[in-house]
Every structure is written in C-alpha cells, then in structure tokens.
Amino acid sequence: MATNRHIAELIIKHRKNSLSAYEKEELETWCDHSEENQLLFDRLSGPGYDNMVELYNSLATTENNVAVWQPQRKRVVVAMVYMSIIICLLFAGMAVYSVFSKQRDRNKRNTLVQQKPTDVINNTQVPDVRRVQLKLASGDMIYLDSSVNGHVALQYRSVIFKRGDMIRYEWSTGDAQTELEYNTLITPPARRFMLELPDGSKAWLNASSSITYPTAFIGKERTVQVTGEVYFEVNHYPGTLGSHEKKPFIVYVNSMPGSMGVGARVEVLGTHFNVNAYDDELVIKTTLLQGKLKVSNQLLQIAGADRIVNEPQLKIEDEPALKTVVLTPGQQAQVSGNGKLEVIKYADIQETMAWHKGLLIFNDRPIKQIMKQLARQYDFDVAFNDEVDGHYTLTLTQEAPLDQVLQVLEFSGGVHFKVDGRKIVVSQ
C-alpha cells in the first residue's frame, strides 16, 4: 500500500502537471480505493494549497550554483512541504472518517431506511423513491447509491462512469448506440448528487430534484430540463465534442403545479448559476453567480421520457406576456405561477448557495418556508396544527441532526415541534 509520503509526492506532481502515465494511474487507483481518498484528493488539489505548491515549485527550479548551505535548506523546506501534506492527509482522513462514521450511525438509527438491493441495473424490485436513480432511455433504472463504482452504462456516443456521489459522461469513439437518447437523473429527499454532462459542464442536484438531458450534445444547442434545485457550472466550449464551436446552453424549467403552465427558459454561455424550481414553492428562482444569463418566462410542457419537451402549450386565454431579462452576477430572476417575471438586483447569494456548501442558512425566513426546506433535506412530512407564523434566522451544517435543528428553532421561541415517526407536527 502506498505511504502517505508517496501519495504526497504524487499530489504535488499532479498540481505541477508532471505526473507520468504510470504515476497518474497509480494516483487514480488510490482515489478509486474509497470515497474518503477521493475527498482528500479533491481537498488537497483545491485552491487552499496553492501557496504550498508554489513554494515547492520555486525550490525545485532554484539553480545549482548557489552557496553550499542553500541546497541543505532546500531539502529541509521541501521536506516541510511533504510533511505538511502528509499531516493534512492524516488529519483530513480522521475528519472524513468521523463524518462518515456519524452518517453511518444515523443511518443505522433510522429504522425507516429500507435495505438496498444488491443489483445495480435492471433491479426487479419495486423502485425505491428514496434512492438516487438514473433512468436510461430504455426505461432501465440504475440505482446510483450503490457502492459499485466504474462503468455503469453505454448510451449514444457516451460511456457513463460512476465514482462515489457523481457520474460522468465521456465521449465514446467505440461501439455506441445509433440514435440519440435522453437520460434522467433523480435525487430523493435528503440526498444530493453531482453530474458531469457530455460537454464537460457540471450540475449539482439538491434533494428531491431531477435533470433530463441528451447523452450527447450534437445539435446547435445544448439543452437540459430540470425540476427542484440544481447548481450549474457550464463549460464555455463543449470540448468533449472535439470542437471549439460555441453552443448556447439552455435550461428549461418545468411549470409549477396549479400555475398557468408557465415555466422558465435560461440561456447561458459559460457561467455559474443556481435554479430553484421546487413544485411546492411559489416562484422559480434563477440566481447568477458568474457570467451572464438570459432568463425568459415561457409556456412549457413537461419533459418526456425520450426527449426534452420545450414546445409551448396551446394558447390559453389571458396568457401572460412573454418577457426576457439579462442577469448580471449577484442578481436573481423570479418567475411566478401567473407568468410574472421580475429581477431581484441584490440576491442573498450566501443563503442561495448554502445547500451546495453543505450548510443550512435562513435569513429572516418564515417558519413555513423553513420547514419546506428541512422536509426535503431530512426526508420527513410536515403538518401545522395552528396558524404558525414568525420569521427565523439561523445557520447550521447539514450534518446537524434533525432534533438539534428543531431544538434551535424552539429555543428561538414561538414554535413547538412534535415528532411522530416520519411526520413532524408544528404548533405554537
């Protein structure tokens, strides 16, 4: 087994883009060994360790014609660089182990969690709505919360790989399907998942969300359709297609139940943004973090099993006027059920992106809105005995047990909770 020092050397070489083919394979094998290893690699490869690697690079490029004591100092400082990464490996490993241990303990205590089937694909049991699902064009269902990693399916011009809580579509030059196909990734309550699309764009799905997308972007546009909440980092150039041609990236957002059939169309070219479109919310929120974004209200149909349906519905009386706005970073577009489109110039980015950073942040939010989000994050049903109102502000990690979250809210005053199995009753 590789030592911590050896792994530290490989990570430094990775940061310097100087890994040999054999060393790259060795590092990938170490990452694939466990989710903990992959998390540690992602952390040590992040921007927080730039200064350490810059120090190492400067030492590695120092000329040899220096005083005798300088090479000795160089070896000492290089050793310190290695030791720093090794210490990070050890302590980060213990922290990750602690997080995973707590998660396993909570899962053991939750008697409502069903036993997971052992089959990865074509599972003949009744589909479990509390599992991460990948629906293929054929109708086959892959349960992605299985511990199995590696190649999971072959779709039109794409090979699908799974690693931990993410899947990646890679352009295939080998034997692939002959027709373009659409897949749908679905997350249950209390689960999040990451998807790397065939063009290299990345999508993070929050709990109770879905995204429908083609298995290859071969047309003039790159189109996907979402429900729930999804954070996107869009690849400016769809490089996996072997071309630097710019292709608009279009996100269609389903209309909300009980509305006039109004959804949203989001058009981007290389940007970071978040879409919140849960069907129990009053508005569709699109928040821009980086780049530019064009948002339109649009009459939309729901995505089909074999395609993305973006044709407008039949005209209806008093249909809302179609409107388009262009967002700059920090702004949020809101599309209501009656078709009204407005721009919030100074959105609460910290609260919007809290879920993506593993946090729960509520800034002066009504208790009913807070309970909606907690219900999705912790997978429970909520009922109100009284006409409870009041606004609350709190910040917690998503690792916090539900009982602690409820205690904090009760301590703030004006609200009381009673837990009955998977149901929580809220009263004054």
Distance, first Cα to last Cα, the chain: 58
Per residue in 231-266, pLDDT tens? 999 988 765 445 566 788 999 987 655 555 678 889
What confidence score (pLDDT) does residue 78 get? 46
**What number of residues does the chain have?**
428
Average pLDDT over residues 134-158: 83
Q: Which CATH architecture has domain 133-349?
A: Sandwich (2.60)
Domain(s) of CATH 2.60.120.1440: residues in the chain: 133-349
Question: CB–CB of 345/389 below 8 Å?
Answer: no
Class of domain 358-427: alpha beta
If you search the block for the tokens 């892959």, which residue do you land on?
A: 142
Name the more confident of 232 and 420.
232
* 276 bridge partner residues: 229, 285
What confidence score (pLDDT) does residue 318 get? 52
Name the more confident of 180 and 202.
202
What confidence score (pLDDT) does residue 378 get? 92
Average pLDDT over residues 40-60: 55
Asked if residue 272 has pLDDT above 90, the reply is yes
Q: Confidence band (pLDDT; 50, 70, 90) for 230?
A: very high
The Cα 285–Cα 341 span in angstroms is: 10
Asked if residue 76 has pLDDT above 70, the reply is no
Question: CB–CB of 279/262 below 8 Å?
Answer: no
Average pLDDT of every residue of the chain: 75
Asked if residue 118 has pLDDT above 60, the reply is no
How many beta carbons lie within 10 A of that of residue 216, not counting itself?
A: 24
Give the type of residue at 218: I
Question: CB–CB of 117/145 below 8 Å?
Answer: no
What confidence score (pLDDT) does residue 197 get? 92
Per residue in 318-377, pLDDT tens? 556 778 999 999 999 999 877 889 999 999 999 999 999 999 899 999 999 999 999 999
Per residue in 286-310, pLDDT tens? 999 999 999 998 765 544 444 555 5
For residue 23, give the H/E element and its range: helix 21-32
Dihedral angle, C-alpha 112, 118, 119, 124, nearest 10 °: -50
- High-pLDDT (> 70) share of the chain, %: 68
Per residue in 14-33, pLDDT tens? 877 888 877 787 788 788 77
Contacts of 152 (CB under 8 A, 6+ apart): 120, 121, 134, 142, 144, 160, 161, 162, 167
Q: Which of 29-38, 216-225, 329-338, 374-383 has the lowest mean pLDDT?
A: 29-38
Domain(s) of CATH 3.55.50.30: residues in the chain: 358-427
What confidence score (pLDDT) does residue 386 get? 76
SS3 helix, strand, coil % of the chain, rounded to 5? Answer: 30, 30, 40
Per residue in 86-96, pLDDT tens? 555 544 444 44
User: What is the crossing angle of helices 50-60 and 69-109, to 10°?
Assistant: 150
The Cα 231–Cα 67 span in angstroms is: 53
